[in-house]
């Protein structure tokens, strides 16, 4: 049998693996929550370690911890932030709604590692998880602080740069495709001509708007609940503790961080998290439109729309030789669907602010951070493996324009709506173009008809 040791909490003794740095409360949570196998992601553990490190240093500065313990705690917390101790964080996401189990997991791991750094065995309690590591803190303010800070860092450092890269490529394609005329579509039916560059300019703007929403939500996430402790009153914490810790975190991350204006709102309400998720959902909705349009415009290669030529990145079928599918677009579409689903879970979690505490923080944390990670990864690979190599089928685009019945729209201001509609119906019934039918009916001089049916002028404002 594996070696074990006995650790204690307020409920009594618990058997813990000898090589585990966690203690009794974590061991109880392992037994209590064998739910999903989903755990807090690395970015969250990094941030939680950073908070614990700065808390120890500030408590030393305030004279609340002796230097020996404080430096050992800070060193152990720094190891946690770097990822050196990740194997000691096994707890399931579906646990206590405040995240207390994970906060205590961190406190116990840091305390036992600090014991080792001080030359005693783990579990000796020379450094105590509650009295020393958690000094001035509560799960109820630390976990939401870690959530806000992790989300803000990941949005700024991973997702916004990915979207910026996509914007750049979309902008380049908008310029490159600007002289290619194709047919517009509304209600999935032929509409008036557009320039392919205009279509991609629209995509550029949609992605820009999504990125702007995400940038704006950073301000709300920068308001941190730390300092409220159990219920928002700040009991058992030094009045300067939160301000000093947050100032240190702001300097480390480069983010505009500050203490919550109202700790009751910060701990019981999760509107800033819900707002950040809504910005992610908005971005996902825009990305879905872009990816879906591109795969439809690339449908074919012979029996679809065929206006775009997507890069071939892998064989598309196990039974149909030579088939190539728009797999990069399909991957991004699935990510967008997941993000919208995550947003629903986060919104429902935001409803669970009962009295002085929200009790859905772990699941909100997991879903928010997953959405950021998935979007960042999917946008990056879609940009590099689809958008950058995207080409336009100029001949196909221009052939479709001449075939469109909506060409008669340019005639309506000159000959009237009803007469233009008659031309469209005759063209449809005979299988001929609007131009051919209008010439046969001799409704306008040929040079005037040529001027009105110029596809390029139809892509810009103007009448007749």
Question: Residue 395 — very low, low, confident or very high, per pLDDT cuts 50/70/90?
Answer: very high
The percentage of the chain sitting over the pLDDT mark of 90, rounded to a whole number, equals 98
Residue 354's Cβ-count burial label (10 Å; 0-12, 13-18, 19+) is exposed
Q: Where are the beta strands (DSSP E) in 248-371?
A: 258-259, 308-309, 353-354, 357-358
Cα separation, 308 vs 306, in Å, equals 6
Give the lowest-confidence range in 27-36, 91-100, 315-324, 325-334. 315-324
- And the tokens for 38? 């989903």
Tell me which of 3.40.50.720, 3.40.50.10860, 2.60.120.10, 1.10.40.30 is the CATH number of domain 404-459: 1.10.40.30
* Residue 153 pLDDT greater than 90, yes or no: yes
Q: What is the pLDDT of residue 246?
A: 98
State mean pLDDT over 252-270.
97
**Per annotation, catalytic residue among 187, 263, 299, 318:** 187
Q: Are 33 and 94 in contact (CB under 8 A)?
A: yes
Q: What is the pLDDT of residue 312?
A: 95
CB atoms within 10 A of CB 27: 21
Q: What is the pLDDT of residue 2?
A: 72
Q: List helix spans (H) across 66-194.
A: 67-82, 100-117, 139-154, 160-176
* Residue 357 pLDDT greater than 70, yes or no: yes
Sorted by where each begins, the domain ranges of the chain are 20-135, 143-394, 404-459
Cα separation, 114 vs 195, in Å, equals 65
Find where tokens 């629209």 sit: 202
What does CATH list as the number for 143-394?
A: 1.20.200.10
Q: Is 177 left (phi over 0), alpha (psi -120 to 50) or beta?
A: alpha
98: nearest Cα among 154, 155, 147, 157: 147
**Residue 387, strand partner residues:** none
Classify residue 92 by its DSSP letter. Answer: B
Strands 189-195 and 181-186: antiparallel
* Residue 464 pLDDT greater than 80, yes or no: no
State mean pLDDT over 84-90.
98
* Residue 1 pLDDT greater than 60, yes or no: no
Classify residue 39 by its DSSP letter. Answer: B
State mean pLDDT over 258-283.
98
With H, G, I as helix, E, B as strand and everything else as coil, classify residue 272. Answer: helix
Q: Which residues contact 61 (CB under 8 A, 6 or more apart)?
A: 244
Question: Residue 255 — very low, low, confident or very high, per pLDDT cuts 50/70/90?
Answer: very high
**Per annotation, catalytic residue among 317, 318, 384, 430:** 317
Q: Are 207 and 286 in contact (CB under 8 A)?
A: yes
Classify residue 385 by its DSSP letter. Answer: I
* Residue 292 pLDDT greater than 80, yes or no: yes
- Asked if the bond preceding 50 is cis, omega within 30° of 0, the reply is no
Q: Is 187 considered catalytic here?
A: yes
Q: Report domain 20-135's class.
A: mainly alpha
Reported as a single tens digit per residue, the pLDDT across 172-230 is: 999 999 999 999 999 999 999 999 999 999 999 999 999 999 999 999 999 999 999 99
Q: Is 132 considered catalytic here?
A: no
State mean pLDDT over 410-426.
96
Q: What is the pLDDT of residue 463?
A: 86
Classify residue 55 by its DSSP letter. Answer: H
Cα separation, 286 vs 290, in Å, equals 6
CB atoms within 10 A of CB 398: 16
Cα separation, 248 vs 48, in Å, equals 14
């Amino acid at each position: 049998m594996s070696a074990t040791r006995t650790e204690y909490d307020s409920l009594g003794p618990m058997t813990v693996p000898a090589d585990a740095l966690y203690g009794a409360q974590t061991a109880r949570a392992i037994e209590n929550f064998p739910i999903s196998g989903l755990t807090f992601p690395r970015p969250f553990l990094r941030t939680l370690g950073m908070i614990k490190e700065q808390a120890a240093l500030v408590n030393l500065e305030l004279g609340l911890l002796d230097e020996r313990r404080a430096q050992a705690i800070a060193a152990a917390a720094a190891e946690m932030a770097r990822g050196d101790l990740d194997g000691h964080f096994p707890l399931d996401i579906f646990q206590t709604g405040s995240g207390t189990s994970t906060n205590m997991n961190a406190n116990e791991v840091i305390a036992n590692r600090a014991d080792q750094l001080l030359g005693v065995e783990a579990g000796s309690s020379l450094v105590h998880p509650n009295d020393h590591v958690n000094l001035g803190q509560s799960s109820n303010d630390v976990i939401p602080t870690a959530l806000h800070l992790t989300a803000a860092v990941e949005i700024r450092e991973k997702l916004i740069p990915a979207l910026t890269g996509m914007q750049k490529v979309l902008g380049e394609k908008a310029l490159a495709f600007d002289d290619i005329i194709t047919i517009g579509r509304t209600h999935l039916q032929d509409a008036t001509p557009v320039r392919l560059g205009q279509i991609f300019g629209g995509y550029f703007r949609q992605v820009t708007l999504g990125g702007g929403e995400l940038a704006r939500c950073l301000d709300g996430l920068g308001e941190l609940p730390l300092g409220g402790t159990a219920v928002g009153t700040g009991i058992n914490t030094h009045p300067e503790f939160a301000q000093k810790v947050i100032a240190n975190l702001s300097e480390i991350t480069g983010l505009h961080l500050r203490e919550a204006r109202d700790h009751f709102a910060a701990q019981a309400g999760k509107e800033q998290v819900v707002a950040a998720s809504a910005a992610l959902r908005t971005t996902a909705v825009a990305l879905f439109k872009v990816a879906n349009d591109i795969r439809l415009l690339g449908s074919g290669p012979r029996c679809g729309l065929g206006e775009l030529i997507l890069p071939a990145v892998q064989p598309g079928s196990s039974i149909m030789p030579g088939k190539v599918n728009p797999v990069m677009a399909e991957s991004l579409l699935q990510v967008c669907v997941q993000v919208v689903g995550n947003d629903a879970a986060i919104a429902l979690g935001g409803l669970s602010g009962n009295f002085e505490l929200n009790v859905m923080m772990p699941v909100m944390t997991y879903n928010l951070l997953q959405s950021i990670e998935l979007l960042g990864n999917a946008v990056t690979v879609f940009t590099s493996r689809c958008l950058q190599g995207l080409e336009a089928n100029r001949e196909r685009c221009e052939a479709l324009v001449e075939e469109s019945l909506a060409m008669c729209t340019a005639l309506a201001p000159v000959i009237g709506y009803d007469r233009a509609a008659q031309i469209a119906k005759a063209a449809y019934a005979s299988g001929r173009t609007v131009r051919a039918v209008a010439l046969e009916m001799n409704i306008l001089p040929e040079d005037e008809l040529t001027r009105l049916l110029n596809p390029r002028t139809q892509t810009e404002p103007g009448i007749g």
